[in-house]
Chain A
């Protein structure tokens, strides 16, 4: 078992617990132990874009420091950290880049790291779980599949922060294939659709939920028209805007038919045959289970 440092992010411990449970279970099946440090803090998404900002980088860098401590203590096998949440990934990776490329701010960040035993070296590599899978090889992922998701048409929803900006994204922003490759390995059919990278509305869901309803409607409708049965996502905010917020979409658009949205790790857990606790579909709104049962992919 390779031990890989794992950064959960706040939401994965609460609303998105199903994301975490399914990911840990699938990683275990693939021979990876996700090691969560005892202490970590909220990454403080979204990445602060001002050139003079130091304060907002303390939170992400502090997390990377935790990962470095894990590595120094020999509790993990590499100087890497893997995240599941796309926003956490983006925030951690971008702050890491700022730390390593801006020597002036690097010094200031270090000066403001109160009450820490060591200083961050800048040497932790930030990875997203999909990158880890790609690195491992899709054939290896396929080996763990006991129940191929045949007949399931899945639209991969990338969202924004997984692919942008260039250099930070895990795949080519114009023509990404990483989610499609993953779906193929699981035996499902990937459905390309035009809005797979269109923003879901992000944090505007807090005070402008009608606008999010509009964006969600467009994205979900496009996916459905392209022939998808469900969508997958890698971000708890996208999942919230495209999933539970469908109730807002229904209020606004009477013709709208709900369509399930799940985390990609949940489909992986299903294909790996890992059982109810791993797939954790009870947390998803709308419920994907009726659809999966119809497709013969879920036994009661």
Chain B
């Protein structure tokens, strides 16, 4: 996929650059296209649970800031793709969120655990909920 090359020139330290490149590679998205309009944040259903808004996370990735990995934001995302359809520059923010999650999950981290579910919950919850929950939030 070819996208317009950004004219933005940012000089970053090697660690930051590595992080940004890794997120770009894993998500397939060019975050430099973002001009911080905030349309993604306005359509997002989970903002009240987030510490950084989606647009802020994109900004952090643009600057190669690894703190994005420590946010609560990436874990409460429901992959509803509202951000993607709202973005005027065609960035799939959901892909970026997934890439950030993967960078943490691939280090043997599990956000949720099946052990936290009581037998009643396991009986009551539909399969689809447990399957998707484990798929997105565990290694």
Partners in one complex: yes
Residues of A within 8 A of B (CB): 9-11, 14-16, 42, 44-46, 48-52, 56, 85, 87, 160-161, 164-166, 173-174, 197-199, 201-208, 211, 214-215, 236-237, 240, 244
Q: Are B85 and A206 in contact (CB under 8 A)?
A: no
In the assembled complex, the Cα of A51 lies from the Cα of B78 at a distance in Å of 19
Other A-B contacts than A160-B79, A203-B133, 8 sampled, CB-CB below 8 A, are A16-B126, A42-B127, A49-B92, A52-B26, A164-B81, A165-B85, A206-B121, A236-B128
Q: Are A51 and B45 in contact (CB under 8 A)?
A: no
Q: Are B126 and A236 in contact (CB under 8 A)?
A: yes
Q: Are B78 and A201 in contact (CB under 8 A)?
A: yes
Residue A50 contacts which of B26, B82, B124 (CB distance < 8 angstroms)? B26
Separation in Å of the A197 CB from the closest CB of chain B?
8
Question: What are 23 A-B residue pairs whose CB atoms fall within 8 Å in the complex?
Answer: A9-B128, A10-B128, A11-B126, A11-B127, A11-B128, A16-B126, A48-B135, A50-B98, A51-B25, A85-B128, A160-B79, A160-B80, A164-B81, A164-B82, A201-B78, A204-B46, A204-B76, A205-B125, A206-B121, A206-B133, A237-B132, A240-B126, A244-B124
* Contact residues on B (Cβ < 8 Å of other chain), bracket: 35 or more
Residues of B within 8 A of A (CB): 25-28, 45-46, 48-49, 76, 78-82, 84-85, 92, 94-95, 98-99, 102, 112, 116-117, 121, 124-133, 135-137
Residue of B nearest to A206 (CB): B133
Known: A52-B26, A164-B84. A14 touches B78 (CB 8 A): no
Residues of B within 8 A of A56 (CB): 135
Q: Are B135 and A46 in contact (CB under 8 A)?
A: yes
In the assembled complex, the Cα of A211 lies from the Cα of B94 at a distance in Å of 20
Q: Are B129 and A49 in contact (CB under 8 A)?
A: no
In the assembled complex, the Cα of A43 lies from the Cα of B45 at a distance in Å of 25
In the assembled complex, the Cα of A46 lies from the Cα of B128 at a distance in Å of 9
Residue of A nearest to B44 (CB): A199
Q: Are B116 and A198 in contact (CB under 8 A)?
A: no
Q: Are A211 and B131 in contact (CB under 8 A)?
A: no
Q: Are A10 and B26 in contact (CB under 8 A)?
A: no
Separation in Å of the A195 CB from the closest CB of chain B?
9
Residue B26 contacts which of A15, A51, A244 (CB distance < 8 angstroms)? A51
Separation in Å of the A245 CB from the closest CB of chain B?
10
Residues of A within 8 A of B137 (CB): 203
Q: Are A49 and B79 in contact (CB under 8 A)?
A: yes
In the assembled complex, the Cα of A214 lies from the Cα of B76 at a distance in Å of 14
Separation in Å of the A10 CB from the closest CB of chain B?
4
Residue of A nearest to B28 (CB): A51
Q: Are A237 and B81 in contact (CB under 8 A)?
A: no
Residues of B within 8 A of A204 (CB): 46, 76, 78, 133
